Amino acid sequence: MSCIAWEGTNGEFKLIDPDEVARRWGERKSKPNMNYDKLSRALR
């Protein structure tokens, strides 16, 4: 199941499951305590 859906034609996307996106990113970066709040702060 995808956690991200592309919308429109300008490269816009929507996070279907933001918590899962954060969990997967934390797994990839070896940061098991990653959550959506921390991820969104890092993206600003």
CATH code assigned at 36: 1.10.10.10
Check residue 9 and give its pLDDT.
Answer: 86
Tell me 35's DSSP state. -
Q: What is the largest distance, in Å, between two alpha-carbon atoms of the chain?
A: 34
Q: Look up residue 43 and give its two tokens.
A: 């993206």
- What domain range is 37 assigned to? 4-43
Check residue 44 and give its pLDDT.
Answer: 86
d(CA 31, CA 5): 24
User: Domain total for the chain?
Assistant: 1
Instruction: Give the model confidence (pLDDT) of 6-28 as tens digits.
Output: 998 898 999 999 999 999 999 99
Q: Look up residue 41 and give its two tokens.
A: 């702060």
User: Residue for token digits 């199941």?
Assistant: 1
